[in-house]
Structure 1
Amino acid sequence: MLTSKIIATGILKAVTVIVLTALSLYFLYQIQSVLIYLVVALILTLIGNPILDFFKRRLKFNHVFATIATLFIFILIVAGFIMLFIPLILTQGQNLSLLNTAEIEKSILQLINKISIFLESHQIDSAKMLKEANVTSKINFNFIPNFLNTILGTISSFGIGLASVLFITFFFLKDRVLFIVGAKKLIPDSHEDQILHSLEKINILLSRYFIGLLLQLFIVFILYLIVLLIFGAPNAIVIAFLCAVLNIIPYIGPLIASILAAILTMLSNLGSDFQTEILPTTIYVLIGFWIVQIIDNNLSQPIIFSKSVSSHPLEIFLVILIAGFLFGILGMIIAVPLYTILKVIGKEFFPENKVIQLLTKNI
């Protein structure tokens, strides 16, 4: 029979659990940067393990020198990327005057004026409509420089994060055996094999997924760049790079990228005639971007992602769609990695479930 003491004890335990859970979540939120460093370092470790083994087996390096050589390769790749892209992006970004709100407002006003003149030449009284609507007063021009400042600032000031990731990666590679032994001691004996196998499978699938994501973004960047160069769009590298970054957001990102490409293309051609150069170039660029998206959505993206996480393209689409409805853009970005983790855990701990058997048959 329940007594007041038992009820009070139960309530106290429940409150304690809730408070501890809330404090744990708050703590994790506060150290989210450290968690991101650990995840990135883990992915680099997974990528670096085959390279490390190559140095040890083929070149007969000892373990420490093999670890240093593997890390050196990562540093060379990052340095090469910075030397190749960042100066070009910064230079072209300055040419576009995209980091100056006053300049971009002035440019957009000039563009609106050119559009008005073009429409009036075709007997469309748009100037009056634009003035009555007072479009410019309703647009917050800060969003473009803020957005670009965020991207360029992240790229140009990630030195501390990069150093932290490389430092953590070094010890993950160097002491991987010690970490594995330590993890085994913390795992309950009854579930040791299941948990270790799950972690191994999750690591493999997620490393393949992130490599696939980088490959997909690189392919999209190259295709965007080709389109912009074919049609003579100024500042092609920075426009292609920014639009490729937006493809991280599934389905919505490419739409935003197309709109951004159209705006930046028109702003880059302000010195030209609207009817003969600005409008045709922008239309051609949009058509080219849509063709790139057709290629990406039907070839590169399904093949890369379905192969990397062993899921059907329709399955991935539905997961992203549901995550988007539930959690917005952030949900769409993390949908595939989280779904992959849940599939692996489900297969290891509930292998008899028919739904899980159907979803994990390729894992």
Structure 2
Amino acid sequence: MTSKSLASGILRAIGILILVALSLYIIYQVSTVIVYLIISIIFTLIASPVVKFLKGKLKFKNTLAVATTLFIFILILVGFILLFVPLIINQVDKLSLLDINSLKQNYTTILEELTTYFSKYNINLSKIFDSSSMVKSIDFNFVPNLINGIINVLGNFSVGLVSVIFITFFLLKDKAYYFKSFKSLLPNSNKEKIVDSVRKSNALLSRYFIGLMLQLFIVFILYLVVLLVFGVDNAFIIALLCAILNIIPYVGPIISTILAALLTMISNIQGDFSTEIIPTTIYVVIGFMLVQFIDNNFSQPIIFSKSTDSHPLQIFLVILMAGYLFGITGMIVAVPMYTVLKVIAKEFFPENTFVKLITKSN
């Protein structure tokens, strides 16, 4: 190897590194736009069946079908805002104005009461945790900071909403054009296989995201009913947060139950611990476990199995492995990513034994 070729190789490597660094910097700078685009693609997948129905059954023109679909979505969103957001803002304002010292005192009181309560049954909680050190290790300022952060996000919501609607409109309206352009870039040797993979993935992901929205709504309503029945303060916002946590498979429901139990005890701190706080908290936990039983045995099998044509065991293992490899983010995106990869594998390697096994109809 000559010195000239070595220098050329070094310069090429440096150039590639600079190009990669520049690309990552640009992606970072336009990350908000990328988020808008991803959300728009998800909305496009959800809205596509509605557009298809309007064009096929009601004979709407393409532009009219897209405009009507987005108008329906906007009406639903406006209705949700008019119905729920004032209540959310009212409860969020209350939570954002929490007195941190009072919250710490409530937390300490809860631990002391728990220690006293379980000591009656010869269970010494003081050996399990040191309440004073636990209080010192927790920064309760995260509560109002988190809530205020949510308020700020809602303040910028209008800009994001307009951007997402605008992008979604053109993705739906010119879907055929974008698909044709994408198709023209594909190599002729594998063009049909790639096109079929995209179409099948699009159909399955549309079913998945629609089902996921329905699942979260059902869980939210059931959580809200449980909290309202037992008179928990800030029931709406707690139910909403717990329902959103259900996006995280398997782990989310556990976190939701723990969060609901803690907030239930803190919100009822003025009541008698043995006769009011403990029974109410137990009832809420039982109610949440019942909701999760309904969700795990009815909602999730329909969404994760039927909508993606995958066996429940496959879904469980995929989510588990994604969680170990990529954490919570991996668990959230595991099912849609697995669905796409499975479609591609079936299209390109239909005779492979492993592919046949994982793509076998349930």
Distance 1:357 1:131, change over 3 A: closer
Structure-2 residue corresponding to 1:279: 278
Provide the C-alpha distance between the structure 1 equivalents of 2:79 and 2:59, rounded to a whole number of angstroms.
Answer: 27
> Does 2:308 align with 1:347?
no
Look up the match of 2:89.
Answer: 90
Moved more, 152-161 or 108-117: 108-117
Cα distance in 2 for residues equivalent to 1:312 and 1:80: 37
Residue equivalent to 1:182: 181
User: More deviation in 84-93 or 301-310?
Assistant: 84-93
Identity %: 55
Query: Are 1:337 and 2:336 matched, yes or no?
Result: yes
Q: Distance in 2 between matches of 1:52 and 1:349?
A: 30
Specify the alignment match of 1:319 in structure 2. Answer: 318
Supply the AA of the counterpart residue of 2:323.
G
Which residue is 1:248 aligned to?
Answer: 247
Deviates more, 1:180-189 or 1:27-36: 27-36
State the aligned residue count: 362
Task: Letter of the 2:296 partner, please give it.
Answer: N
Shift in Å, 1:236: 1.8
Q: Is the 8 A contact 1:68 1:170 kept in 2?
A: yes
Partner of 2:256: 257
Tell me the distance in 2 between the aligned counterparts of 1:121 and 1:355: 57
Q: Compared with structure 1, are the counterparts of its residues 326 and 301 closer, same or farther at alpha carbon in structure 2 (3 Å cutoff)?
A: same
Deviation (angstroms), 1:174: 2.1
Q: Is the 8 A contact 1:208 1:308 kept in 2?
A: yes
Provide the secondary structure at the position in 2 that maps to 1:309.
coil
Aligned position for 1:270: 269
Which has the larger displacement, 41-50 or 65-74? 41-50
Whole-angstrom distance in 2 between the partners of 1:322 and 1:128? 35
Answering whether residue 174 of structure 2 is matched by residue 212 of structure 1, we say: no
- AA aligned to 1:244 is A
Instruction: Letter of the 1:297 partner, please give it.
Output: N
Residue type of the partner of 1:213?
A: L
**Which deviates more from structure 2 when the two are superposed, residues 264-273 or residues 151-160?**
151-160
Distance 1:296 1:130, change over 3 A: closer
With the length of structure 1 as denominator, give the TM-score of the two structures. 0.87
Alpha-carbon displacement from aligned partner over 1:27-50 (angstroms, at most 9, x marks no partner): 334433322322322232233334
Q: Structure 2: which 5+ residue stretches go unaligned? A: none
Return the alpha-carbon distance in structure 2 between the equivalents of residues 118 and 174 of structure 1.
Answer: 63
Any residues of structure 2 matched to 1:131-150 within 5 Å, and which? Answer: 133-150=132-149
How far is 1:20 from its partner? Answer: 3.5
| Aligned-partner Cα distance in 2 for 1:224–1:138 | 30
Unpaired runs of at least 5, structure 1: none
Give the AA of the match of 2:266: L
